[in-house]
Structure 1
Amino acid sequence: MRFYTYLFLTLLMFGCQNSAADKNAEPEITNTSKANSLPPQKSETKAQVPALNEEYINWDSVRINGKLPMVTKTTALFNLIGKPDSITDPNMSDVCVSYYYKDFKYAYLNNTKIEIYGDTAVVSSLDFRKGSELKLKTPTYTFDKNTSLESLEKFFPVSVKEKYELNVYGIGKTVAVSIPTSKEPSDDSWLLLFLNGKLIRLDYYLPC
Structure 2
Amino acid sequence: MSEPAAAYREQVAVVVGGYDRIGRLVCEPLAARGVTVAITGPSAQQAALYCRELTDLSITALPYVVDPDDAAMVHRLVADVTHDLGAPDILIGLLPADGPPYPVATAMGKAMAEADRPGRIVLLVPHAEAPRAAVWALRTSSGTLRANVLSAAATASAEQIAGAALMLLGRDADRLAGAHIEVHGAGLPD
Which structure features the higher share of strand residues?
A: 1
- Asked if TM exceeds 0.5, the reply is no
Question: TM-score category by the smaller chain?
Answer: under 0.3
Alignment TM-score, normalising by the size of structure 2: 0.27
Which structure is larger by alpha-carbon Rg, 1 or 2?
Answer: 1
Which structure features the higher share of helix residues?
A: 2
Alignment TM-score, normalising by the size of structure 1: 0.25
